[in-house]
Amino acid sequence: MRFRLTVEYDGRPFQGWQRQAHGPSVQQGIEDAIHSICGEAVEVIAAGRTDAGVHGSAMPAHVDIERPFTPFRLMEAINARLKPLPVAILDCAEAPDWHARFDCTQRRYIYRIINRRAPLALAAGLAWRVPAALDADAMHAAAQRLVGRHDFTTFRSAQCQANSPLRTLDRLDVMRVGDEVHVHAAARSFLHHQVRSMVGCLKLVGQGRWRAEDLADALAARDRSALGINAPPDGLCFVGASYPDLSVGFTMSNRGNEAP
């Protein structure tokens, strides 16, 4: 049976979603929990593969298990065995002929900046504190220079393994919520570090150190050395995905407007 899982996790203790030889991962934690339940060596496939320190509030994933389970019983069993890892299965359903990664038509992230001088007592590791005042409106206007289909080489990690730097960015919105600035990004797929690199440059715009034209020039350069700064992973959260057939897919359209 194939099951669709909706996963929430705090990325701080992990080397990322994907199983790694040099440290713990979210994928490994879930796979080990399922193995302890049914004795099967399974592979949990997710819609996205977040980096070390990046969080997930609604990551769709699937797993194939030979032993019969009801979705609720499987979810409860996995959650019981995930403790004390900061990972939770929020939902579980049967999903025949559905692939969490290859059927996904859009992935959505939110980057959370806390714009204040005081240190973070409750949100440390869950947001990026920027003490200098940020102009969210200027950031949003500049961000629109990146929307659409472009060569995002400048905003691509040197370790990125994608075959092409071409990506279509569906949305890049910046909005202020009290003393926070949220950056919403949506695309079918992203390059390694693309969101963090875009946020880092938008922060320079918000501080008045870059103009919208500087951001456009960095994009046009198609050169990683033209990047301003790379934002830390702390504030980045995978918040949702969309699928063409909602009867077997998963969407978090409403969550796309929430902070992680």
Write out the catalytic residue numbers.
Answer: 51
Residue 149: name the closest of 110, 188, 111 by CA. Answer: 188
Q: ∠ CA(22), CA(128), CA(83), 5° rounding?
A: 45
For residue 244, say if its preceding peptide bond is cis, omega within 30 degrees of 0. Answer: no
SS3 8: strand
Burial class (CB in 10 A: 0-12, 13-18, 19+), 144: middle
CA distance 57 to 52: 15
The number of angstroms, rounded, from the C-alpha of 164 to the middle of its chain's C-alpha atoms is 20
Which position has the token pair 């046009």?
220
For residues 26 and 208, the answer to whether their CB atoms sit within 8 Å is no
Count of all residues that appear for the chain in the document: 260
**Two tokens at 221?**
């350069």
